[in-house]
A and B are shown apart, each in its own frame.
Chain A
Amino acid sequence: QVQLVQSGAEVKKPGASVKVSCKASGYTFRSYGISWVRQAPGQGLEWMGWISGHNGNSNYAQKVQGRITLTMDTSTSTAYMELRGLRSDDTAVYYCARHGPGILYYFDYWGQGTLVTVSS
């Protein structure tokens, strides 16, 4: 069965960087894209960016453009999200989510989430 397992919670100081991993299993990793979505405490969902499993191309939301990098390691079926220059409003649960088949770009499987807390 498809599973996305994310790395554990992180506590970071303002200005630091965080790198969250998302290990996929149960499907052909390179056949699907991965998006990253975050959710601040008590708030809604915010799409941050996606990476293509086919060619590693990525696209980012303007709000985090310049601070975010999405990568993947096909040898371990793992996707990564690095966010730099952390601020207090980056405190959130970060989810990775697999794209469904085709070009509709919905998210059919999600990781369990990784809480990133930014605090001095």
Chain B
Amino acid sequence: DIQMTQSPSSLSASVGDRVIIGCRASQSISNYLTWYQQKPGKAPQLLIYAASSLQSGVPSRFSGSGSGTDFTLTISSLQPEDFATYYCQQSYSLPWTFGQGTKVEIK
């Protein structure tokens, strides 16, 4: 199975900060990488697919980059509604696997 490792596991940031979350795959996954946002008690929501494609309706302050084994999710200017947990997911090979999550908290 492909292991997905996110860094950091949690971070504290202020409104307006630039936030970068990393995701590393245990083997190359090309661009088969997706990012989700999850708020407490809610289902995950799709942010980014194919490593860098922004899902329709998602604010442009979210962006994704990377290919192969190393990927990043960037929030250019953190907004109050962005405090949540973020997960990466690989769909290169079965079983599809998620990172352990990165919790973004208010500083």
Contact = CB atoms under 8 A, between A and B. Distances in A.
A106 interface: yes
A100 B49 contact: yes
Interface residues of B, number: 22
A26 interface: no
A45 B55 contact: no
Contacts of A107: 34, 36, 44, 46, 89
A110 B38 CA distance: 11
Nearest to A59: B94
A42 B4 CA distance: 18
Interface residues of A, number: 22
A76 to B, nearest CB: 22
B95 A104 contact: no
Contacts of B43: 95, 97, 110-113
Contact of A47 (B32, B38, B49, B98): B98
Contacts of B94: 59
B32 A44 contact: no
Residue of B94, B95, B99 most packed against chain A (CB within 10 A): B95
Given A35-B96, A44-B100, A108 B32 contact: no
A27 interface: no
B84 interface: no
Nearest to A6: B43
A46 interface: yes
Interface in A57-87: 59, 61-62
The 4 closest A-B pairs by CB, nearest first: A105-B91, A110-B43, A106-B34, A106-B49
